[in-house]
Structure 1
């Protein structure tokens, strides 16, 4: 649900801004567009580590249940937006940030709950199914977003509500704490320096890729320089704090575990590639290929989602199979093979002309989905298995 929401909003943004009667491409409104895109993602990225630690202390299931409730409440508030113009945009941004808090609670604790619930020899399959749900949700959201945006933009947010209500009730009734709770205090200084530092860096990067003055990029902007330098300084302070407090927010010693460090680095690189590909394919299809083939701009969100279904199909096929096989043969061959296959498809996509043949395009993104599926579950399982139970 959390992953579906991130993609469903991206493809529905034109309809959402039309619904609140605001042109996001005007220079005075660019900030609203950026924060509609970035607010949810920034909050999720910043808080996921913090909420994982809080889950270790107060109970992962409790935090997971709270995430469902917050996410659902924010979805209702988003769908009932009472304002238009700049006020409507601010309402949406604020509640998207609240929704991101719920999403961070869900993401931070879901994998830990699976790790607590399944023995080592079954975790690969469990992680595979979970990763399928997450990644398939992000691509299915493109189709659902295009379909609902064509009907009524408010449905883009309402679609989360029945699933959220069911998930909240189901999690409260069925999930039980099986992991060990830590008798530790919350590292407030670590949380603050990490959160503020990461937010500043992300804001700096976001505005750094925007035009500034007479330049095509904004890396010389005083705001960008201040946020990036200040953010990096706070993150360095965070590392210093974590080495000295009794109960750190994040045990940096975990990065001495080779499987943990390498798995997280590989996961970061894979996420950068997958996110960039998804964003560029949406622009490529909606802005160039579909109009060239006679589709009106009003229909392009739906058809862009449909034409990207092969990547979802490849992931759905490879994810559970490779998760199951990794329980028997180890994670390395599948994670490595998946990354290499994904890299090959990126290289081949670079050589496609703007007016490409869909058969070739569909095959390449299908193979990209297979590569992502081969990588995701085995890599996540290897990371989770490398961490001590406490």
Structure 2
């Protein structure tokens, strides 16, 4: 449920904004859209390490159980949003931030609790199931969000309540501390510097996709630059700070362990690629393919979730099997092959037309799910096996940070790449398409000059933006047939199809390269390494044994 909540709003945003009576595409409302997308993911990326370290010190089960309580209370508050318009959006954003605090507690400590509970020769199976549940949640969120958005927008948030209540009762009743507990105190300076630095960096990258001045993106915005540069400086300072702290939040010495360092780099790149894939497939289905095949804009979230089922099925098929196999053969072959398969599917998606035959799309996305499943469980098992028992909470949190930061980074990276692709071709397509339906050349030129981010967000939300771009006054001057065509189901999808594919080439080639680099990092992580219980983290070579 913690990871479902990271993606469930992606596909149900149209219903949510309609429910609170807010148009996210109006000037000034884009920030609501961005924070609804990134707030939950950003907070989990920032806090998951801190809560992992707190679990090491005060007990992993204690922090985990408290996370269930906070997560559930926030879900109840989200369901009872009493406001509309901007106030309603702020209520949802604020309580999703609170829910992310609870989700961070769950996410940071679940892997460590399982690592404590299972011997090394069975951890692949146990962590495989856990990792599959976590990442499958990001896929299930798309399906569940589409279904629930069709029923009622509040149901998108209420779905967490019964699971949260049952989970809270179950965890307090059944879970007991069995792992080694570390000693020491909380590294407050490290927590503060890391939190501020990562927040500034991720927020700056995300706001970089908004237009600034005459530019289609905001990379020249002084505030964006300040956030990115300042965030990087703080994170560099954080590394030096942690190397000089006796009991750091983020044990940088763990990166001397090859399996830990390589596994986390591969996880970061895989997470960026996976996040980008989700965004692009949602735009592709909701904004183009489904309307072209006769589906109303109101029903596209539901059907987009249904048509993405092969991706989820492939992941669920490969994940548990790969986790079990990694107990016997190690993670390197499985995780490396998995990421190479993911890279191949990114290229394959470029070879099918925008208005594809569904069977081809289903096979490619199924194989992408297979590749992701082959990578995820073995890679997480290798990471957790490589660290000392007293550092498992921190290691789990650090690994979660890389995964969640990758999801957040994908918003800024892939939307910016797509905007760059659209900027080269969309204006001409808008100009010719509008004038062909009777719109005056001056008006068409004005619409074509608008930043492409608006059209991209419209496709992402499954909206036809032409009505708001032209306005009722211009539409009223056109003959009824042209006005109907411009505001119908097919004009905008046809218009954006070719420019979208131009942007898709940039996005998916970048994602394929990231997957290949991740595969190389996974390959270089070594064979099946299991940490021998010892307090000498400073000499990881002596603390590792090769099975």
Partner residue in 2 for 1:173: 173
Deviations 1:47-67 (A, max 9, x none): 011110011001100111011
- Does residue 337 in structure 1 map to residue 337 in structure 2? yes
Deviations 1:295-325 (A, max 9, x none): 0011100000000000111111111111111
Query: In the aligned structure 2, how far is the partner of 1:293 from the partner of 1:278?
Result: 21
Query: In the aligned structure 2, how far is the partner of 1:127 from the partner of 1:350?
Result: 34
Per-residue deviation at 1:134?
A: 1.6
Partner residue in 2 for 1:129: 129
Partner residue in 2 for 1:231: 231
TM-score, with length taken from structure 2: 0.71
Query: In the aligned structure 1, how far is the partner of 2:134 from the partner of 2:261?
Result: 22
Deviations 1:34-55 (A, max 9, x none): 1111110110000011110011
Query: In the aligned structure 1, how far is the partner of 2:340 from the partner of 2:91?
Result: 43
Partner residue in 1 for 2:13: 13
- Does residue 256 in structure 1 map to residue 235 in structure 2? no
Larger radius of gyration: 2
Per-residue deviation at 1:351?
A: 2.0
Q: How does 1:64-79 map to 2 (within 5 A)?
A: 64-79=64-79
Query: In the aligned structure 1, how far is the partner of 2:192 from the partner of 2:121?
Result: 38
Partner residue in 2 for 1:92: 92
Partner residue in 1 for 2:383: 383
Partner residue in 1 for 2:265: 265
Per-residue deviation at 1:137?
A: 2.0
Partner residue in 1 for 2:202: 202
- Does residue 297 in structure 1 map to residue 297 in structure 2? yes
Per-residue deviation at 1:27?
A: 1.6
Per-residue deviation at 1:136?
A: 2.2
| Counterpart secondary structure, 1:250 | coil
Query: In the aligned structure 2, how far is the partner of 1:137 from the partner of 1:266?
Result: 20
Query: In the aligned structure 2, how far is the partner of 1:47 from the partner of 1:352?
Result: 40
Query: In the aligned structure 2, how far is the partner of 1:194 from the partner of 1:138?
Result: 25
Query: In the aligned structure 2, how far is the partner of 1:91 from the partner of 1:204?
Result: 23
Partner residue in 2 for 1:31: 31
Query: In the aligned structure 2, how far is the partner of 1:203 from the partner of 1:351?
Result: 34
- Does residue 115 in structure 1 map to residue 115 in structure 2? yes
Unpaired segments ≥5 residues, structure 2: 391-547
Per-residue deviation at 1:357?
A: 0.8
| Counterpart secondary structure, 2:244 | coil
Deviations 1:79-109 (A, max 9, x none): 0000111111111111010011011111100
Query: In the aligned structure 1, how far is the partner of 2:281 from the partner of 2:194?
Result: 32
Query: In the aligned structure 1, how far is the partner of 2:32 from the partner of 2:162?
Result: 28
- Does residue 154 in structure 1 map to residue 154 in structure 2? yes
Query: In the aligned structure 1, how far is the partner of 2:272 from the partner of 2:73?
Result: 30
Partner residue in 2 for 1:281: 281
| Counterpart secondary structure, 2:62 | helix
Structure 1 residues 233-242 or 49-58, which shifts more?
A: 233-242
Partner residue in 1 for 2:315: 315
Query: In the aligned structure 1, how far is the partner of 2:346 from the partner of 2:35?
Result: 28
Partner residue in 1 for 2:362: 362
Per-residue deviation at 1:135?
A: 2.2
| Counterpart secondary structure, 1:2 | coil
| Counterpart secondary structure, 1:264 | helix
Query: In the aligned structure 1, how far is the partner of 2:383 from the partner of 2:134?
Result: 17
TM-score, with length taken from structure 1: 0.99
Query: In the aligned structure 2, how far is the partner of 1:260 from the partner of 1:183?
Result: 22
Partner residue in 2 for 1:217: 217
Partner residue in 2 for 1:240: 240
| Counterpart secondary structure, 1:377 | helix
Query: In the aligned structure 2, how far is the partner of 1:115 from the partner of 1:278?
Result: 30
Query: In the aligned structure 1, how far is the partner of 2:344 from the partner of 2:294?
Result: 31
Query: In the aligned structure 1, how far is the partner of 2:232 from the partner of 2:143?
Result: 38
Query: In the aligned structure 1, how far is the partner of 2:38 from the partner of 2:119?
Result: 37
- Does residue 192 in structure 1 map to residue 192 in structure 2? yes
Query: In the aligned structure 2, how far is the partner of 1:216 from the partner of 1:53?
Result: 41
Query: In the aligned structure 1, how far is the partner of 2:42 from the partner of 2:373?
Result: 25
4+ residue runs over 2 A deviation: none
Structure 1 residues 233-242 or 259-268, which shifts more?
A: 233-242
| Counterpart secondary structure, 1:42 | helix
Per-residue deviation at 1:169?
A: 0.4
Cα RMSD of the aligned pairs, angstroms, is 0.8
